[in-house]
Amino acid sequence: MDDARNLIRYLGKGSFTPELIASAEGSWVTTESGRRLLDFTSGQMSAILGHSHPDVVATVRDQVGRLDHLFSGMLSRPVVELAERLAASLPDPLEKVLLLTTGAESNEAALRLAKLVTGGHEVVAFSGSWHGMTGAAAAATYSAGRKGYGPAAPGNFAIPTPHSYRPDVVTADGELDWARQLDLAFAMVDAQSTGNLAACIVEPILSSGGIIEPPPGYLAALQRKCRERGMLLILDEAQTGLCRTGTWYAFERDGVVPDIITLSKTLGAGLPLAAVVTTAEIEAAAHERGFLFLTTHVSDPLVAAVGTTVLDVLERDSLDARAAELGARLKGGLHTLAEQHEVIGDVRGRGLLVGLELVVDRATKQGSDVLGAEVTRRCYELGLHMNVVQLPGMAGVFRIAPPLTATDAEVDEGLAILDQALRDAVKAVL
């Protein structure tokens, strides 16, 4: 795209979409040429209330005219109110809140907290993880971006992602034996550790890793592994938090309470807002040791006001229940497509965070980056933006995340476009 000639290309081997976007509203984005695209990515997996939600627009217009940004040591009413609301939405003992801007930044702060409080520096994460592109977050990210940038910080260990569709450690029946996999994983961690384990950071549902959901019981077992080693468990709910999966927080399904939770994308509903929430005990220990995380936009009042509005809308419109209901409709439609298209190997996910994996052979589960790219291209031509993980070997795995405010008709329209794109793509490349 010639319009991007002055921009640094930051999408790895991927490319920008071929048209400039002029506006967005609800579940739709409109190009400069006037073409409308159904947005099944919620922007960058963030706009859970759709684009330009009227309540968010009203809050921004009001707040920016009164109080937008302050010295980082100053507090304001919007910051105090959002901290109270977030604490009230989470189970005890999670009650201490730090408001930041991005997911990477919140994960940096969480890891910094864990290292200071435990006295360790070693961090464990999934092999399919994505936690951000800054220092410690990037060092704990294994799905992409590790090569070519020099050494990561020492003491970062990857453990296998518990992938039920593509199991590595299996039972006699060929199913994922996640308990044995986890035992083996931590045996390897223990063998490599210098005795300075600080934290394990994981997504309750891995997104960039391919919408992979650890089986029921896994997170509780993982937390026990952490407790045994004096590690803190950090759950990165950047994409799963705040009703996206049909409950307010994805970890609720598993009956665990993390030591630290990080929030970002969904909290600002498209605006740059993130949060770290931890216990009073951890916060007190960190403060005693002089915890420092001073950034330009920590505790900014403008986006804090937006965060409270987001929580208001989620509660008022019961969007947790709506996500569960609409997610069931979406998955049901995808399962119907799977009956018609042999190239659909797996449908997975929870609520309105759904994964679709394409294969050229269901028996061998052989994937196809070429097919995935062609389906993505054809969907775009037909008016549907489908976010696909454009990583080598994973371009056939789609992340589908419509806004929680999407209508039944919009979900059905997206499914119909995907149906046509699959038919056209199979003819074109297979």
pLDDT of residue 253: 95
Q: Among 97-111, 234-248, 267-281, 388-402, where is mean pLDDT lowest?
A: 388-402
Q: Of 63, 181, 223, 239, which residue is the catalytic one? A: 239
Q: Is 239 labeled as catalytic in the residue annotation?
A: yes
Q: What is the pLDDT of residues 38-90, one digit of tens each?
A: 999 999 999 999 999 999 999 999 999 999 999 999 999 999 999 999 999 99
Which pLDDT belongs to residue 389?
A: 67
Determine the residue type at 62.
D
Residue of 62, 60, 55 lying closest to 313 (CA atoms): 55
Share of the chain above pLDDT 90, in %: 93
Structure-token pair, residue 344: 């659909």
pLDDT for the residue 1 = 66
Strands 122-126, 197-202: pairing kind:
parallel
User: Containing H/E element for 14?
Assistant: none
Domain 2-53+318-429 in CATH: superfamily? Answer: Aspartate Aminotransferase, domain 1 (3.90.1150.10)
pTM of the predicted model over 0.95: yes
Q: Would you say residue 390 has pLDDT above 80?
A: no
Which amino acid would we find at residue 224? R
Classified as helix, coil or strand, 191 is helix
330-341 pLDDT, tens digit per residue, is 999 999 999 999
pLDDT of res. 262: 98
Token look-up 């009413």 returns 77
User: Confidence band (pLDDT; 50, 70, 90) for 4?
Assistant: confident
pLDDT for 87 equals 98
Pick the catalytic residue from 108, 203, 320, 374. Answer: 203
44 given a catalytic annotation: no
pLDDT beyond 90 at 3? no
Distance between CA atoms of residues 138 and 126, nearest Å: 12
For this structure, is 236 an active site residue?
A: yes
| Higher pLDDT, residue 11 or 341 | 341
Cis peptide, bond prior to residue 93, ω within 30 of zero: yes
Give residue 394's pLDDT: 73
Q: How many CB atoms lie within 10 A of CB 20?
A: 12
User: Residues 310-352: pLDDT tens digits?
Assistant: 999 999 999 999 999 999 999 999 999 999 999 999 999 999 9
Is 130 tagged catalytic?
yes
Token digits for 15?
């490319």
Q: Indicate whether 383 pLDDT > 70.
A: yes
Sheet-wide strand order for 94-100: 94-100, 274-279, 260-263, 232-236, 197-202, 122-126, 156-159
Name the CATH code of domain 67-316 (choices 3.40.640.10, 3.40.1160.10, 3.30.465.10, 3.40.50.720).
Answer: 3.40.640.10
- Of 320, 390, 399, 410, the active-site residue reads 399
Q: At 159, is the secondary structure helix, strand, or coil?
A: strand
DSSP single-letter state for residue 167? -
What average pLDDT does the segment 371-382 reach? Answer: 95
Each residue of 176-190: b (16+ CB within 10 Å) or e?
bbbeebbeebbeebe
Catalytic residue among 236, 237, 300, 410: 236
CB atoms within 10 A of CB 228: 10
Which of 130, 254, 259, 283 is catalytic? The answer is: 130
pLDDT tens digits along 291-308: 999 999 999 999 999 999
pLDDT band for 193, please (50, 70, 90 cuts): very high
Range with the lowest mean pLDDT among 64-73, 231-240, 243-252, 392-401?
A: 392-401
pLDDT at 15: 84
Q: Is the CB of residue 320 less than 8 Å from the CB of residue 310? A: no
Of 24-33, 260-269, 390-399, 412-421, the poorest mean pLDDT is in 390-399
Alpha-helix runs per DSSP H in 24-166? 42-45, 54-64, 77-89, 103-118, 135-139
Rounded CA Rg of the chain: 21
Catalytic entry in 265, 322, 331, 378: 265
pLDDT at 430: 84
pLDDT at 239 over 90: yes
Mean pLDDT of the chain: 96
Strand partners, 87: none
Q: Where exactly does CATH 3.40.640.10 map onto the chain?
A: 67-316
Residue 300: predicted pLDDT: 98
Report CA 195 to chain centroid distance, whole Å.
Answer: 30
pLDDT of residue 103 exceeding 90:
yes
Residues of the chain with CATH 3.90.1150.10: 2-53+318-429
